[in-house]
Chain A
Amino acid sequence: MKISLDWLKDYLPSLDLGADDLSKTLLGLGLEVSGVERRGAAFSGVAAAKILSVGKHPNADRLSLCSVESGGEVFSVVCGAKNIAAGQIVPLAKPGAKLPGGRTLAKTVIRGVESHGMLCSAAELGLGSDHGGILILKPDTATGADLSSSLAKPDVVLEVEVTPNRPDCLSHLGLARELSAALSLPLKRREPAAPLKAATELKIALAVPDACPLYLGKVFSGLEIRPSPGWLCARLEAVGLRPINALVDITNYVLMDLGQPLHAFDCDKIAGGEIVVRYAKSGERLAALDGKTYDLTAECLVVADAQKPSAVAGVMGGLESSITDKTKKILLESAYFAPVAVRRTSQILRLRSDSSYRFERGTDPAAAPLAAAMAEQMIRELCGKSVQAPAEGAAGRQPSAPQPITVSAGRINEILGSDFTPAEISAALGRIAAKHSAAGNGIEFTPPTYRRDLATEWDLAEEAARLLGYGRIPARALVSAPAAASRLAPIAATILRCRARMCAAGLLEAFNQDFISEKILAAARQTEAASWARPANPLSEEGAVLRPSLLPGLLQNAALNFSRGARSVRLFEIGKTYRMENGAVIEDWRAAGVVSGAACEPFWRGALNVDYDFYRLKGVVENLLPSSAQTVFHADSGDGTPAGPGWSDLDRLFHPGQRAAAASGSGTFLGFVGCLHPQAAAAWDFGARTVCIFELDLEALSALSAGPAAKFAPYSQFPGSWRDLSVVVPKSARYAKIDKVIRAAAGENLKDVALTDVFSGKAVEAGKISMTLRLSFGRADRTLTDEEVSSAVQNLMGALEKNMGARLRGA
């Protein structure tokens, strides 16, 4: 909220701080100052002048030609206002004067007569909204005096951020109280209000005393709706409010001064002369001051007349009962509405105001009568001479005062770790207490009615620290021993390991938001919309779904990088995905990646310039899997390994002939690696690029990695031997099967099988391919003989011939 220093001094006449020091003091109290505005006259070159004569303009009936004197000089000025007369002291803007809005006044000729300046209205000087006539200054104003400092006081306006626990600071009085306590300055208090007289012509009924325990009304008649005087306009404008008319301005002024929201009704529009504070009935509607009509529910608190709601209680008045130029009789409301009632109403209607902002945080019930009295005084001063003493009505009673809190200085020091003396703690708390006394070893502290946030010794510890300074609390090393150091959760360890390995594989880590659009999911060929988790209130269509997979986001990133000229894309992400299951959102940890384009920097030895492809990415994925776990890559997940929930839809993102399902040897499904489906590639405009992707279930991977840590396994001291074997097999043969057959047939001396070459074409008959295998043999206890190796090769070749239709090349 905006706070005017000039206004603040109404309460703290002895406050003598500049904007910087004031900001620092407020910051030390927990009130951040987010902006400082220096205000002053928005004009210069305007002086007081005495009207010597008012004559008729020779060429215009509506204009007059005035002779004015300022500083001994006489000026001839053309004027259009009707409220001027000889002898008045008025502001004269002389040629060269600067007026608000950046206008510079020049000598002008108006309807054939030269005008040596301009007589100004309050509005023309930026001093208010009164355009009605020339601003008439006090008769004792010296002519020739420059008006920039006397008419527009210099002021400093602070934008203060008030946290939700401190509604008492949402006013000039409230901040003055804080500063008074912090700086030990005397606070100039207002006269307490006399108790309101019993209702006479006004009947007030409180149907829901919990939601509205206190309601005060004053009925004024015979008032005129007119503009506010300059000082009032200036103060409201300083704090960012637009002056409207004196009555509305008075309610706003009291709001900013005391923090108590007021509302004025046109009393003639209150049916039955009766006010009922109640919950709305279903079907009731109200056209509010903002011009919109609201459908009220039974949870909306309203201020109604005998027939219908006239205002949304504590939030906004109704249009029908609002003040107009014709209003003669008003009902002024000063009430205490319970925070929850106002907040709920405001949330249901999605309607907020300065008033609801304060009520929902909690106003001071004791300020209600004070505000009513202050408003009455101002109305009588500013709304015409014929304003009558108001008829009054009060209903309900003050909510019970806050309970006293008992605390000791020792306990406060214990909470803070400080060593403040009991005397300074007691004195500090005394400055903010309603009542405060030493009670035995402790302090009995009764919070004021406006500090409902104070209820516990922790609250008072904070108050003491705030007033004595957080900086005075020492910094102490945490000495207690931590609980037994806990190991990383398995999933956290798996994440760390995957991240490191993907980095080692040359991939860059990406972070995408968890929200994604249906459009992108459609591009990714995802169809199982029923299983998507969604935010109920997405920011936009772009974030309508909580990502069911990491890949659509990564493909977006790939497209962006290609569109910006990247030669290749190599991205991975580790994060959560979401799915609906039995009416609840399930979160899964996943790792995913996308690679495409050149797999290295351009190199001048051509053979090494290779692009990312399926087999390269498969290798990256294999390196993510624990070496202790046997992992098999199935050509399809139907091969005995059921994919987990949500994966069948993701399968649609892959080229059906170019993707493998990773699974553990024991049959746990781990994820997919493969090439992007051509339709998805087209949707992202990847053109002819080969785009390879993978996504893994990290929870499954993590479970696989569990188990005892690896132990050293001694390796053979005896040299091994190897044989190369070129076999021709049908094209339909799957390598995994070949590998399996070889391992089963070769016996225990076979250590490893590596595929070193694959080719087809002229040298190989149609429908077949040639594979060259390097077979490594060895034993831990001795060197193998040639015969042993040859016999193993013979055995496995026999098995390959029998099971795979293989034959030796050249045989």
Chain B
Amino acid sequence: MPEISRKNWEARLEAVRSDFAASALDCLATLEDLELFRVKYLGRKSELTELLKLLKDLAPEDKRALGPQAQKLKSGIETAVARRQAELEDELLQSKLANESLDVTLPSYREPRGRLHPLTLVMDEMTRILTLMGFSLAQGPHVETERHNFEALNIPKHHPARDMLDTFYLKDAPGVLRTHTSPVQVRVMEKQKPPLRIICPGRVFRHEEVDASHSSVFHQIEGLAVDKGVSFADLKGTLDFFLKELFGSGTQTRYRPSYFPFTEPSTEVDVRCLFCGGSGCSACKRSGWMEILGAGVVNPNVFKAVGLDPAQWSGFAFGVGVERVAMLRLGVSDMRLFYENDQRFLSQFDENLA
């Protein structure tokens, strides 16, 4: 068995140390080269492994002194190799990722976006506000009896107020196309006992030539509240709240006398011009105000027509023109656009209208 001297062992370790120090670990470009490098310094047949094996042949005191030196060199080399391996692996990942990159700016594959009609959006918005205020939805037919559309609303035959409601009659059938959503008030009161709070969004029909601001078919939202002790002041409170929700908290309102056969007192409600804020512009015809809706205290004759005692019950009613609000909110100046159904028009409006 060949003896190894301490001196000899130390010289060989020093040779490994200086060889490693001179090696170009950082120049190794691939994981394969690194593996060869690892085998060379740390493999089973490497000089270092040999020297560690030979320790057992040294004197115990030499063993104690030299063993840690060899172990220290070994772990130094291991750390360096591991570091280089991490570096090389990262480089590899980076280059793989670089190769996989997409041009994310290329156009998407997109399902076409469906949209609701702007009038639906505006009706939904108004309905949302009013249902939060405790109004529930009611509906009525488009083809109405003359009683519901006129007589029960205090518009007798041969009354000049019918001039305000140019009417489509039906051929070979009774009834009219409702000229307003107000007959729904009558229908609800015929069926339900007060207290009542209802709204009815829907289509109405007027025998009017179609132009930029008139349509023979358009939409209204009718509202009705009936209870004991309901007054004009409740109407103002309700509509103020509704209009502020609809047009913004800074909305100012103005109530001025008007005439509807089915309310008494009656009022037209204006808001401060949404465009000029009241200083006067073409949209408000220099008045600073815009007419938004008609309203009033339920006329006792309407209560009588549905068998309610006007001494006991009172209420208010209002009607909003949906197209008018939509035109103001969306900046549409020609009402016909709503019924033309050009997809470029229909694609412009999103759920968020504000």
Contacts and interface: CB of A to CB of B under 8 A. Distances in A.
A306 interface: no
Nearest to A514: B217
Contacts of A604: 106-107
B184 interface: no
A601 B257 contact: no
B236 A473 contact: yes
Contacts of A414: 229, 231
Contacts of A539: 207-210, 216
Interface in A164-192: 164-166
B257 A470 contact: yes
A445 to B, nearest CB: 15
B256 A30 contact: yes
B175 A474 contact: no
B343 A571 contact: yes
12 contacts: A30-B258, A417-B231, A465-B257, A478-B134, A514-B177, A536-B169, A539-B209, A566-B343, A578-B143, A603-B109, A604-B106, A604-B107
B171 A535 contact: yes
Contact of A560 (B112, B236, B342): B342
Interface stretch (A11-19, A400-408, A579-587, A793-801): A579-587
Interface string A21-53: 000000111100000000000000000000000
B318 interface: no
A415 B300 CA distance: 11
Contacts of B116: 499, 503, 509
B3 to A, nearest CB: 69
Most buried by A among B171, B225, B237, B339: B171
Interface in B215-260: 215-217, 225, 227-234, 236-238, 240-241, 254-259
A378 interface: no
Interface string A750-787: 00000000000000000000000000000000000000
Q: Which of A27, A482, A512, A568 has the most CB of B within 10 A?
A: A482
Given A164-B259, A458-B300, A535-B177, 18 more contacts: A29-B257, A164-B164, A347-B158, A360-B158, A415-B297, A417-B231, A476-B236, A477-B238, A478-B237, A480-B230, A499-B120, A503-B115, A514-B177, A539-B207, A539-B209, A560-B342, A561-B341, A578-B143
Contact of B107 (A417, A456, A502, A601): A601
A533 B168 CA distance: 12
A466 to B, nearest CB: 5
A417 B259 contact: no
Interface in A515-556: 515, 533-539, 543, 554
Nearest to A582: B173
A475 B264 contact: no
A58 to B, nearest CB: 58
A488 interface: yes
B9 interface: no
Given A30-B256, A537-B169, A566-B343, A587 B142 contact: yes
A534 to B, nearest CB: 4
Contacts of B300: 456, 458
B163 A416 contact: no
Contacts of B192: 483
Contact of A360 (B120, B160, B216, B256): B160
B275 interface: no
Contacts of B230: 478, 480
A417 B177 CA distance: 36
A343 B227 contact: no
Contact of B114 (A507, A514, A536): A507
Contact of A515 (B135, B136, B169, B216): B216
Interface in A472-493: 473-483, 485-486, 488-489, 491-492
Contacts of A566: 343
A571 B164 CA distance: 35
Contacts of A29: 257
A263 B169 CA distance: 35
B141 interface: yes
Given A415-B314, A509-B117, A587-B141, A458 B237 contact: no
A63 interface: no
Contact of A30 (B158, B163, B259): B259
Nearest to B113: A506
B133 A478 contact: yes
Interface in A213-249: none
Contacts of B197: 478, 482-483
B170 A585 contact: yes
A28 B257 contact: yes
B43 interface: no
B19 interface: no
B117 A510 contact: yes
Contacts of A481: 134, 195
Contact of A465 (B161, B216, B232, B240): B232
A163 B258 CA distance: 7
B40 to A, nearest CB: 51
Given A477-B237, A489-B139, A164 B163 contact: yes
A534 B173 CA distance: 9
Interface string B145-177: 000000000000011110110001111111101
A348 B258 CA distance: 29
Contacts of B344: 564
Interface residues of B, number: 89
A535 B114 contact: no
A418 B233 contact: yes
B237 A473 contact: no
B112 A570 contact: yes
Contacts of A163: 258-259
A339 B119 CA distance: 40
A600 B257 contact: no
B181 interface: no
Given A458-B264, A476-B231, A508-B343, A344 B256 contact: no
A569 B142 contact: no
Interface string A447-462: 0000000001011011
A512 to B, nearest CB: 6
A344 B158 contact: yes
B267 A470 contact: yes
B314 A509 contact: no
A505 interface: yes
The 5 closest A-B pairs by CB, nearest first: A417-B233, A417-B231, A30-B257, A462-B265, A482-B134
Given A456-B264, A466-B257, A534-B170, A475 B236 contact: yes
Nearest to B174: A584
Contacts of A599: 112
Contact of A511 (B119, B170, B227): B119
A504 B342 contact: no
Given A30-B258, A478-B238, A480-B228, A583 B160 contact: no
Contacts of B297: 415-416, 458, 461
Contacts of B139: 489, 491-492
Given A483-B197, A489-B139, A514-B203, A416 B232 contact: yes
A469 B142 CA distance: 37
Contacts of A557: 340-341
Given A480-B227, A486-B136, A165 B171 contact: no
Nearest to A465: B265
A603 B225 CA distance: 54
A416 B261 CA distance: 17
A792 B54 CA distance: 72
Contact of A473 (B113, B208, B255, B347): B255
B265 to A, nearest CB: 3
Interface string A589-605: 00000000001110111
A471 interface: yes
A513 B143 contact: no
Interface in B59-113: 106-107, 109-113
A478 B234 contact: yes
Nearest to A612: B112
